Amino acid sequence: MEILGIDIGGSGIKGAIVDTEKGELVTERHRINTPTPATPEKVGNVVARLVRHFEWDGLVGSTFPAIIKNGVTYSAANVDDSWIGCEAEMLLRQKTGCSLMLINDADAAGIAEMQFGAGRGRDGVVFVLTLGTGIGSAIFVNGTLLPNSELGHLEIKGHEAEKWTSDKIRKDEDLKWKAWAERLDTYFHHLEFLFSPDLIIIGGGVSKKFDKYGEYLNTNAEIVPAELRNEAGIVGAAMAATRLAHDPSLPDLA
């Protein structure tokens, strides 16, 4: 099945058509900068532009960096606070005219990695942590997702974790790879103390630089880079939206 996957981030909104049975993009990614301020109206307009770019009128899966329950966004990480309490899924359906499912961005990346990437076939407790503008998290127990975890907001040494450890912070503070990895290792040890994960998968753009910092990470959990990298959110969003084709009880505009 082919579904349009869209990944809404703090700096960019990107999309591609996905073969959900293979976990592969069947078109080139198209990216548009996230508007400032990133309000529901402005982000919705960008999502609609992406749909028009692909001349798409089928199912759409979209990520968003927030706690999402029944299509409503209950937080706003690195976007405008007006998203809090927004009927976001319905807004995006109205903007695009398509049947659309909204899912937390890290959960989407995790779904893709567990099905087609570094978590494929892995049982136990698996964390997928996306390091970018902030830190997104997805938790799986024997392959089952615990949705809407927000482990990037844990406190580490008096700081919110993502404001001390994200890839954006590494760039903003011009940290060397080893210095940044020491922070990351402190964060991972805290997660290990709380949850005892068996596997930690590092996602986001920084996953492709794993050779520069991986040797400085020393946890009992196995740590590996994501395999789908920046495509994971797009693929996972499309995979989540397959529910729209199989569950007639879900609202459908198409």
- Could you read off the pLDDT of 138-178 as tens digits, one per residue? 999 999 999 999 999 999 989 999 999 999 999 999 999 99
With tokens 């290990």, the residue in question is 192
pTM reported for the whole predicted model: 0.92
In whole angstroms, what is the distance from residue 68 CA to residue 58 CA? 22
28-76 pLDDT, tens digit per residue, is 999 999 999 999 999 999 999 999 999 999 999 999 999 999 999 999 8
The distance of Cα 42 from the centroid of its chain, to the nearest Å, equals 20
Mean pLDDT of 201-226: 95
Identify the architecture of domain 121-227 in CATH: 2-Layer Sandwich (3.30)
Residue 27: how many CB atoms within 10 A of its CB? 14
181-210 pLDDT, tens digit per residue, is 999 999 999 999 999 999 999 998 899 999
pLDDT for res 247 = 65
- Tell me whether domains 2-107+232-246 and 121-227 share a fold: yes
Residue 110 pLDDT > 80, yes or no? Answer: yes
pLDDT for res 252 = 41
Tokens of 194: 């709380």
Kindly give the pairing relationship between strand 135-141 and strand 125-131: antiparallel
Residue boundaries of the structural domains of the chain = 2-107+232-246, 121-227
Residue 250 pLDDT > 60, yes or no? Answer: no
Q: How confident is the model at residue 253 (pLDDT cuts 50, 70, 90)?
A: very low
Class of domain 2-107+232-246: alpha beta
